[in-house]
Structure 1
Amino acid sequence: MYRHTKQVVTAGVPAEQAKKAIIMLHGRGASASGIISLKDHLELDGFAIYAPQANEHSWYPYSFMAPVENNQPALDSALEVIGELVDDLKQKGIAQEDIYFLGFSQGACLTLEYTGRNAGSYGGIIAFTGGLIGEQLVKENYKGDFSNTPVLITTGDPDPHVPVSRVNESAEILKELNADVTLKIYKGRQHTISGEELALANTILKN
């Protein structure tokens, strides 16, 4: 399976002049320009906005609930792209605690997986319909201390791609790493992002 090259769409303030930054991760079949268009609904004044583009519009080939090895090497490659973006932002003068993450669906899973494996003090983490990745979750993969970083996880019940049981399990693991988790489950919501979810995200982004 393919590896990802770092292709990034940017918006907002140039990172060298920004006080905060956000990394936005698109879903399967979608695009960096698509996820970055959410900026029109989010409180991102003064942010540098970075959205990487997955090769072939998919971060990894199979369900996030598949055995991890089935999604390699694409999954590790995707995680490396995020790590490189974080390093880039730090080199441009943005502190880790001023870096935020947002993802939808496959991008939400990737957001949680990256931050769970690299727990630390971030500005905030927003996962619209996602959970940690793997057939079974291996707690030893998730290390560090979020130091009360606010984390928003939302999903529909039922969702065609993301079981609520995995969302709940993911939230508990992040809480054990000292994340300040807000979990919202919407009965009968389609696989999309609602206005209420965007409003909840804005409460994190305004901090």
Structure 2
Amino acid sequence: MSIQSNSNNAKGKKTIQINSPLKVVSNVRGDEIKNIIICLHGFGDNAANFASLANEINIQNVLWLFPQGPKNYPMGFDGAQWFPLFSDPTEERRNSEELVLQLLNEAIEVCKLDYSKVFLLGFSQGAALAIYSGLKLKEKLAGILALSGFIFQAHTIKNAYAGKVIDTPMLVLHGNQDQVIFPATYYDMLDSLKDLGVKRLRNKIYSNMGHTISSEEIKDITKFIEENR
């Protein structure tokens, strides 16, 4: 399918057409595209709902892309997933990784940017996929942002880098009251990322925050993107 993004700037509407087999909600902010931010929703969410995040983060000259997981959420209406949590996820994880990287590569070609201008952001299950896809790519990205997430197949990433340092900046954020992805997972993930060789790692755990995105977190996300764009 193709998607079109319309800028609401005063100079008129700007249309970007990107091919993807995924359903994608998109948003162009500003008069030109200097960065691409690809945002992966959590288990059971959908692209349209997660796309509200773009309204919370005041950054100009950005193409926001919110792809939707390829499989329906098994326990609710109008939700999606990137891979199953109650059965073997291997094949569907691989498929989702390929679809996300296909979208990323198509976007940078259309926008005439390079990998260093792309951010991958994910929440919960989407955070796990953002980490895996972004690091497996073995290209320096503008940044990977993992919100309330986890890491899987760390040994596969480690083997891919074979001891080389990972230059992509990373931001790992979590709530200390998260009852979906427990805070212990956050600390284990930090150890794993350091062991993988991530040298530019910023992290924070928020007091009295559950499995959600807070206003304080939005400020830290905005700051990270502005500093690394």
TM-score of the aligned structures, taking structure 1 as reference length: 0.83
Listed as ranges, the matches of 1:1-207 within 5 Å are 5-13=21-29, 17-54=32-69, 55-56=71-72, 57-62=80-85, 70-92=88-110, 93-133=112-152, 137-138=154-155, 140-141=158-159, 143=161, 145-147=165-167, 149-175=168-194, 176-207=196-227
* Residue 90 of structure 1: how far off its partner (Å): 2.4
Paired with 1:86 and 1:38, the residues of 2 have a C-alpha distance of 19
CA distance in 2, matches of 1:162, 1:31: 19
Specify the code of the residue in structure 1 equivalent to 2:224.
I
- 2-structure distance, mates of 1:19, 1:142: 29
Does structure 2 retain, via aligned residues, the 8 Å contact 1:20–1:46?
yes
Is residue 101–residue 124 contact of structure 1 (8 Å, CA) maintained in 2? yes
Q: Any idea what the Cα deviations from partners look like across 1:140-176, whole Å, max 9, x if unmatched?
A: 35536432x3311111224222233332232233334
Q: Supply the distance in 2 between the matched residues of 1:161 and 1:113 (Cα, whole angstroms).
A: 20
CA contact (8 A) 1:98 1:123 kept: yes
Q: Where do 5+ consecutive residues of structure 2 fail to align?
A: 1-19, 73-79
Tell me, yes or no, if the aligned pair for 1:108 and 1:129 is still in contact at 8 Å.
yes
Larger radius of gyration: 2
The answer for unaligned runs of 5 or more in structure 1 is none
> Looking at both structures, which has the greater relative contact order when contacts are Cα pairs under 8 Å and sequence separation is at least 6?
1
Q: Percent identity?
A: 24
Whether contact under 8 Å (2:177, 2:211) holds in the other structure is no
1:130 alignment partner, SS class: coil
Distance 1:187 1:205 in 2: 22
For residue 78 of structure 1, report the CA deviation from its aligned partner.
0.9
- Separation of aligned partners in 2, 1:39 and 1:129: 18
**CA, structure 1 residues 204+191, in 2 after alignment: closer, same or farther (shift >3 Å)?**
same
CA displacement at 1:200 relative to structure 2: 0.5
Q: Please state whether the residue corresponding to 2:51 is helix, strand or coil.
A: helix
Greater mean alpha carbon deviation, residues 175-184 or residues 35-44: 175-184
Query: Deviations for 1:10-35, whole angstroms, at most 9, x for unmatched residues?
Result: 11159xx5111010111111111122
